[in-house]
Amino acid sequence: MLSVPLIAQVGGTSLETFITKTIDGLALGAIYALLALGFVIIFKATQVLTFAHGAVSAMGAYLVSYFAVTLNVPGRWMGDLPVTLQFALSAVLAVLLAAAIGMAIERVFIRPMIGEPLFSIVMITIGLDIVIRTIVGDYIGQGNTVSTGAPWGFLSQWRIGGVIIQHAQVATIIVAVITVAVLMWFFKTRIGIAMRATAFDQEAAMAQGISAGKIFALAWGIGAALAVIGGIFAAVPPRALGVSAGTAFFALRAFPAIVIGGLDSIKGAVVGGFIVGMAEVMAGHYLSSVTALGIGFNTVVPYLVMMAVLLVRPHGLYGTVEIRRV
Amino acid sequence: MRGRPNFFASYEAEQGLLPTTTKKIFAVLVLIAAISIPFEVFPILDKFAEPAWLVLFNRSLIFLIAALGLNILTGLAGQVSLGHAFFMGLGAYTAVVLGGSAEGLWGLGLPIWIWLPMAGVVPALVGILVAPTAVRVRGLYLAIVTLGLVFIGEHIFRNANSIAGAPEVGREWPRLTFRIWKEENPLIDFSRDGQWFGVSLSGEAKTFFFLLVVALVFVVLAKNLSRTRIGRAFAAIRDRDVAAEVMGVGEFRAKTQAFAISSFYAGISGALFGVVVGRLIPETWNLFLSVQFVAIVLIGGAGTVAGSVMGSFFVVMMPRMVENVTRFLSEQAVGDGPVSAIADVVISVNGDFGIVSLEAQGPGLSIFQLNQVIYGLLIAVFLISEPLGLFGVWIRIRNYWKSWPFTY
């Protein structure tokens, strides 16, 4: 399990510390929300819970590093653009490529499995996870970390009194908000409505002339894209030094987020993501002195929160309650 | 009754452990083949008598026990669990605390007839404790809850240093011996080379026999379970829980029982795993281990004992098979041979083109990584082509020969 290196020194009063931690928690929550959104969109469209999400996000983060740092594409032809924009273009390129790979995965591995037992499909995604993770791990190199290059500066921060606001956290939150906004807009477009219709009732949607297959592919594409955006921010300081073999495991902690929110709820994914991120950061700070809980307790807090929520609401906070009839 | 194998005169006859003559013959043949392996009796099977193969067989048998447990929970009762590794870990640490030597950690040094049953009982009790949470949720929610269990368990094992040893270091398990009480010389030592009834056997072979007996007991128990009232209740819950409840099958009760029984199997398997491997780190009981058991159950064929047997051998042996293929290819690429041309393209030697490189670092997959990739791909491709698993393959072969030479 990768631990979260929290490099920011915390000074100031307890209130200022709390504000600092809240911002950290929001940023971490934003990443979990992005990853969880990917899970939920794929789940709503295809009823499949993908376990390859972490591998895809690590792959995308590696692609960003490859495009932005190694090749400097497309920045090398646009030298007069600001660095941030060059990075953004590289990231967009990586996201698009990852989306294409996500669609390809759906077409090759998931489409033939429609109608087969659910857990056979889940197992296939686990197999894919192993394959992608190994290949990406080979490119990264054993024990290596590759930097994605962060135009907002490594560990640069604003200080307002005792409150420390790291640029990376702000960038994370801004990008997450933009992504969610774009997604909300997308769901109101023609294709987005078709997607919602398919998720709501597949047969009725097909009767209206919507190609369910295309919607499945699109869902996987969007899911992969969201995974990559989450992956980029999971692989920058202060959370990690760069893309490593551990980046793939970040998405596993988004599982509690989707369960807390409800597997089939977009709103739930976002709320769940923030709950999990907040819980993890707060536990990491305020419970770190309790040695009885053990080292790295904050990484299991999401699962404990998840169990607590499920005891009260077995379908998560916003999940559709299954109606059971005889 | 000859010539009408599917004619059963009574319910008992149809529900027998091995209802048809073919199955009886098949079971006896498999058993004879298994027992004969360490004695090197039959020409092809004697290859497997070398320790490297026996180690794999032993691991398959240990995995089989855990897979049977997961099969009862997943295949019979329909509850998918990713938490199997956690219960295996619990069993393993129960065993090491009761049976292990102290060496600065907790260990009571008790004999096997205490620690082996307890290694099943303790996880079963924990399973009953966890069940109230697990029973409330279903399907994918359950899978994720049990996934959480693995992470919480890993955290506990990593931090319980006086039980599990330091993280990344681990501790020693007791050797596989049978003692009456804590006496110096064990009555039977399964882990050392020696003579049994005048035949000299390696420690691996002795362990193999021990595991074969234990696995056989659990296979029969698992098979029997599906024929009892409890087993039928599980199947009813799996097929339609509401209808089952209407018929008087308690859902909570049945699911709790399923969790307890499956955890019992997992615990026994975990204890044996620790004992046979010898030294394990606390990180052993992770998600990847759990996934392997789900893979075994699904690849073998959910709900069938025969499927679990085939699945565990397939999943444990497959990496070894892949390794052999890559080793063969790399020899071909370096030297001259019938498939050198193909091997040259696949394997890179001294930096020329190839998908696989023999060096661990640098471009190209290492052999270990290639194994991983093929392992993942095989799971995916196998389930796409045969969603019912190895048992489905077997059904198809059987049906073909049933009506042979007529296609249908």
Complete DSSP assignment for B89-106: HHHHHHHHHHHS--TTS-
Are the C-beta atoms of B385 and B299 separated by less than 8 Å? no
Pairing between strand B199-201 and B279-280?
unpaired
Q: What is the pLDDT of residues A152-206, one digit of tens each?
A: 777 788 888 888 888 889 999 999 999 999 999 999 999 999 999 999 999 999 9
Residue of B nearest to A142 (CA): B361
Q: What is the DSSP letter of B201?
A: E
pLDDT computed for residue B223 by the predictor: 92
Give the ranges where B188-240 is alpha helix by DSSP (H). Answer: 203-225, 229-239
Query: What residues contact B67, with CB distance under 8 A and at least 6 apart?
Result: B293, B296, B297, B300, B308, B311, B312
Render each residue's pLDDT in chain A as its tens digit; 326 residues: 344 444 444 456 888 889 999 999 999 999 999 999 999 999 999 889 999 999 999 999 999 999 988 888 887 887 778 888 888 899 999 999 999 999 999 999 999 988 888 888 998 999 999 999 998 988 888 778 888 877 777 778 888 888 888 888 999 999 999 999 999 999 999 999 999 999 999 999 999 999 999 999 999 999 999 999 999 999 888 888 888 888 888 888 899 999 999 998 999 999 999 999 999 999 998 888 887 788 888 889 999 999 889 888 888 899 888 787 76
Residue of A nearest to B131 (CA): A311
Who has greater pLDDT, B65 or B370? B65
> Which chain B positions have a beta carbon within 8 Å of A123's beta carbon?
294-295, 298, 379, 383
Cβ of A113 within 8 Å of Cβ of B361? The answer is no
Residue of B nearest to A295 (CA): B159
Residue A143, class by beta-carbon neighbours within 10 Å (0-12 exposed, 13-18 middle, 19+ buried)?
exposed
Cβ of B383 within 8 Å of Cβ of A120? The answer is yes
Domain match, B252 and B325 both: no
The structure tokens listed for B179 are: 């003692």
Q: What is the DSSP letter of A191?
A: H
How many Å separate Cα B208 from the centre of its chain?
14
CA distance A259 to chain B (A): 7
Q: Is B281 on the interface with A (CB under 8 A)?
A: no
Domain match, B241 and B313 both: no
Q: Which of B133, B140, B156, B157 is best to mutate for the A interface (most A CBs within 10 A)?
A: B140
pLDDT computed for residue A3 by the predictor: 42
pLDDT computed for residue B372 by the predictor: 82
pLDDT computed for residue A29 by the predictor: 95
Cβ of B136 within 8 Å of Cβ of A314? The answer is yes
pLDDT, averaged across chain B: 86
Cβ of B383 within 8 Å of Cβ of A1? The answer is no
- Asked if omega into A74 is within 30° of 0 (cis), the reply is yes
How distant, in Å, are the alpha carbons of A7, B319, B377 from that of A247? 18, 25, 21
| Neighbouring C-alpha atoms within 13 Å toward the C-beta of A43 | 24
The structure tokens listed for A139 are: 């490119």
Q: Is B375 on the interface with A (CB under 8 A)?
A: yes
The structure tokens listed for B332 are: 């071909």
Domain match, B225 and B309 both: no
Domain match, B204 and B57 both: yes
Question: What fold characterizes domain A14-312?
Answer: ABC transporter involved in vitamin B12 uptake, BtuC (1.10.3470)
Cβ of B80 within 8 Å of Cβ of A119? The answer is yes
In a domain, B332, yes or no: yes
Please state the rounded mean pLDDT for residues B328-340. Answer: 74
In a domain, B104, yes or no: yes
- Measured CA to CA, the distance from residue B256 to residue A229 in angstroms comes to 41
Cβ of B133 within 8 Å of Cβ of A118? The answer is no
The structure tokens listed for A143 are: 């024990």
Are the C-beta atoms of A278 and A59 separated by less than 8 Å? no
Query: What residues contact A48, with CB distance under 8 A and at least 6 apart?
Result: A42, A110, A118, A121, A122, A125
Q: Which domain holds residue B191?
A: 25-284
Residue A82, class by beta-carbon neighbours within 10 Å (0-12 exposed, 13-18 middle, 19+ buried)?
exposed
pLDDT computed for residue A306 by the predictor: 92
Cβ of A300 within 8 Å of Cβ of B155? The answer is yes
Cβ of A310 within 8 Å of Cβ of B302? The answer is no
Q: What is the pLDDT of residues A14-33, one digit of tens each?
A: 888 899 999 999 999 999 99
Domain match, B259 and B204 both: yes
Please state the rounded mean pLDDT for residues B73-100. Answer: 93
**Confidence label for B360 from pLDDT (cuts 50, 70 and 90):** low
Cβ of A131 within 8 Å of Cβ of B291? The answer is no
Which member of B149, B372, B383 has the closest CB to residue A124?
A: B383
Q: What is the pLDDT of residues B175-225, one digit of tens each?
A: 888 888 888 788 888 888 877 777 778 888 889 999 999 999 999 999 999
Q: What is the dihedral of CA A98, A102, A108, A112, to 10 degrees?
A: 180
> Which chain A positions have a beta carbon within 8 Å of B241's beta carbon?
324
All structural domains of chain A with their residue ranges: 14-312
Between A and B, how many residue pairs show a Cβ–Cβ distance under 8 A? 140
Residue B7, class by beta-carbon neighbours within 10 Å (0-12 exposed, 13-18 middle, 19+ buried)?
exposed
Are the C-beta atoms of B397 and B316 separated by less than 8 Å? no
Cβ of B384 within 8 Å of Cβ of A252? The answer is no
In a domain, B291, yes or no: no
pLDDT computed for residue B350 by the predictor: 59
pLDDT at B397 over 60: yes
Q: Which of A25-39, B4-18, B341-355 has the lowest mean pLDDT?
A: B341-355
In a domain, B2, yes or no: no
Query: What residues contact A24, with CB distance under 8 A and at least 6 apart?
Result: A6, A8, A166, A169, A238, A281
The structure tokens listed for A109 are: 């591995």
pLDDT computed for residue A41 by the predictor: 95
- Measured CA to CA, the distance from residue B204 to residue B16 in angstroms comes to 34
pLDDT computed for residue B359 by the predictor: 58
Domain match, B265 and B343 both: no
- Measured CA to CA, the distance from residue B6 to residue B341 in angstroms comes to 52
Pairing between strand B171-172 and B177-178?
unpaired
Q: Which of A252-256, A270-274, B102-106, B288-292 has the lowest mean pLDDT?
A: B102-106
Q: Is B252 on the interface with A (CB under 8 A)?
A: no
Domain match, B263 and B233 both: yes
SS3 track for A14-74: HHHHHHHHHHHHHHHHHHHHHHHHHHHHHHHHHCCCCCCHHHHHHHHHHHHHHHHHHHCCC
Cβ of B384 within 8 Å of Cβ of A138? The answer is no
Please state the rounded mean pLDDT for residues B276-300. Answer: 91
Structural domain count of chain B: 2
Domain match, B39 and B137 both: yes
Q: Helix B51-70 and helix B287-300: axis angle, to 10°? A: 80
Residue of A nearest to B293 (CA): A123
- The proportion of chain B whose per-residue pLDDT surpasses 90, expressed as a percent, equals 38
pLDDT at B160 over 80: yes
> Which chain A positions have a beta carbon within 8 Å of B372's beta carbon?
130-131, 134
CA distance A138 to chain B (A): 6
Please state the rounded mean pLDDT for residues B216-243. Answer: 92
Domain boundary (B230, B255, B284) is at B284
Residue B190's H or E segment, with its range, is none
Domain boundary (B284, B314, B340) is at B284
Residue A303's H or E segment, with its range, is helix A301-312
Cβ of A324 within 8 Å of Cβ of B372? The answer is no
What is the three-class DSSP state of B171? strand
Q: Is B291 on the interface with A (CB under 8 A)?
A: yes
Q: What is the DSSP letter of A243?
A: B
Domain match, B89 and B37 both: yes
Residue A292, class by beta-carbon neighbours within 10 Å (0-12 exposed, 13-18 middle, 19+ buried)?
exposed
Which member of A112, A134, A300 has the closest CB to residue B151?
A: A300
Are the C-beta atoms of B287 and B83 separated by less than 8 Å? no
Are the C-beta atoms of A192 and A186 separated by less than 8 Å? yes
- Measured CA to CA, the distance from residue A76 to residue A73 in angstroms comes to 6
Query: What residues contact B185, with CB distance under 8 A and at least 6 apart?
Result: none
Pairing between strand B356-357 and B347-348?
parallel
Domain match, B93 and B200 both: yes
Cβ of B136 within 8 Å of Cβ of A135? The answer is no
Are the C-beta atoms of B331 and B337 separated by less than 8 Å? yes
In a domain, B294, yes or no: no
Q: What is the DSSP letter of A320?
A: P
Query: Which residues of chain A form beta strands (DSSP E)?
Result: 157-160, 163-166
Are the C-beta atoms of B243 and B66 separated by less than 8 Å? no
> Which chain A positions have a beta carbon within 8 Å of B77's beta carbon?
none
Q: Is B158 on the interface with A (CB under 8 A)?
A: yes
Q: What is the dihedral of CA B23, B28, B30, B35, to 10 degrees?
A: 160
- Measured CA to CA, the distance from residue B234 to residue B257 in angstroms comes to 9
> Which chain B positions have a beta carbon within 8 Å of A117's beta carbon?
302, 387
The structure tokens listed for B397 are: 């072969």
Which member of A49, A135, A314 has the closest CB to residue B137?
A: A314
Are the C-beta atoms of A67 and A90 separated by less than 8 Å? yes
> Which chain A positions have a beta carbon within 8 Å of B159's beta carbon?
294-295
Q: What is the DSSP letter of B39?
A: G
Domain match, B311 and B278 both: no
Which member of A49, A120, A258 has the closest CB to residue B298?
A: A120
Cβ of B159 within 8 Å of Cβ of A117? The answer is no
CA distance A16 to chain B (A): 31
In a domain, B1, yes or no: no
What is the three-class DSSP state of B368? helix
Domain match, B205 and B309 both: no
**Confidence label for B1 from pLDDT (cuts 50, 70 and 90):** very low
